[in-house]
């Protein structure tokens, strides 16, 4: 049972345009959500997070939106740059005793074309 | 600032041989420590986590084991590797939190190929 789903395995965007990466979840106990960026043969790098008490969080070119009723979050990158080309993982953790554990989606490969 | 290192970065091991991957964290005390694996074309799977010295929890049954001999050292081991153990292994740490907001930070990763 996949509790965090990234339904688009890949996304291609032109440099300077907006990249929108989507993520859906099924576990209503999730209350903290994160996005990670991963280059080949490297560990994932933490990008941005959002708590369930918010619906938006911004950090520079990166904005994460959370729609709790739809159990959906998205990562917007504006403007997209070629260096943003990587695999992006969505992750979530639940409140309570298992808050140590992150559940990851399978990732979306973003390609930003010059 | 906190840093995490794991080694070796790559290794090729024959089936049936032992494995030892090591990870250390600097700049923090009493971290939660994790071993994740990314198999080809798949997401990140939690293998083990530890909340303190000698305290190891396993998330999935497998051919691997983990140990935490010191506060900031985490070791992934196997006595006899299987072909299915091939993958990209990631050590990670986080600051323990009673409430939510647990951000995990990853090391550089170790590529294991079992032949």
Say yes or no to pLDDT of A108 above 70.
yes
Say yes or no to pLDDT of B59 above 80.
yes
Instruction: Please give the C-alpha separations between residue B86 and each of B63, B67, B115, in angstroms, as whole numbers.
Output: 12, 20, 9
Say yes or no to pLDDT of A21 above 90.
yes
Q: Is A61 exposed, middle or buried (0-12, 13-18, 19+ CB in 10 A)?
A: middle
pLDDT band at B37 (very low <50, low <70, confident <90, very high): very high
Say yes or no to pLDDT of B87 above 80.
yes
Say yes or no to pLDDT of B41 above 90.
no
CB A21 within 8 A of CB A88: yes
* Residue in this structure with the two tokens 């305290």, named with its chain if needed: B55
Q: What number is the average pLDDT over the span B38-43?
A: 76
List of residues 6+ apart from B25 with CB closer than 8 A: B2, B3, B4, B31, B33, B72, B74, B93
Give B58 to chain A, closest Cα distance, Å: 12
Q: What number is the average pLDDT over the span A81-94?
A: 95
Please check whether residue A28 touches B, CB under 8 A: no
Contacts of B103 in chain A (CB under 8 A): 34, 46, 49
CB B29 within 8 A of CB B71: yes
* Residue in this structure with the two tokens 């369930």, named with its chain if needed: A52
Query: With a CB-CB cutoff of 8 Å, which residues 60-79 of chain B face chain A?
Result: none
CB atoms under 10 Å from CB of A51, counted, come to 13
Please check whether residue A1 touches B, CB under 8 A: no
Q: What number is the average pLDDT over the span B47-73?
A: 91
Question: What phi, psi does A8 have (nearest 5°)?
Answer: -100, 110
Q: Give per-residue pLDDT as tens, A45-71.
A: 999 999 999 999 999 999 999 999 999
Q: Give per-residue pLDDT as tens, B6-34.
A: 999 999 999 999 999 999 999 998 999 99
Beta-carbon separation of B104 and A46 below 8 A: yes
Contacts of A106 in chain B (CB under 8 A): 41-43
Cα gap B105→A80, rounded to integer Å = 24
């Amino acid at each position: 049972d996949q509790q965090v789903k990234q339904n688009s395995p890949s996304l291609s965007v032109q440099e300077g345009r907006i990249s929108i990466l989507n993520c859906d979840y099924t576990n209503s106990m999730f209350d903290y959500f994160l996005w990670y960026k991963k280059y080949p043969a490297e560990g994932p790098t933490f990008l941005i997070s959002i708590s369930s008490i918010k619906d938006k969080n911004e950090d520079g070119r990166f904005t994460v939106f959370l729609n709790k009723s739809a159990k959906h979050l998205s990562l917007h990158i504006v403007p997209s740059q070629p260096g943003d080309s990587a695999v992006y993982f969505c992750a979530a953790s639940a409140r309570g005793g298992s808050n140590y554990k992150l559940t990851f989606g399978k990732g979306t490969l973003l390609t930003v074309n010059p | 600032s906190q840093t995490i290192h794991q080694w070796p970065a790559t290794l090729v091991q024959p089936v049936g041989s032992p494995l030892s991957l090591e990870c250390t964290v600097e700049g923090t005390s009493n971290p939660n420590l994790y071993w994740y694996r990314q198999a080809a074309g798949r997401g990140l799977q939690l293998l083990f986590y530890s909340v303190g010295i000698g305290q190891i929890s396993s998330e999935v049954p497998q051919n691997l084991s983990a140990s935490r001999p010191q506060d900031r050292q985490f070791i992934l081991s196997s006595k006899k590797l299987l072909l299915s153990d091939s993958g990209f292994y990631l050590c990670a740490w986080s600051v323990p939190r009673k409430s939510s907001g647990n951000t995990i930070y990853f090391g550089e990763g170790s590529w294991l190929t079992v032949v």
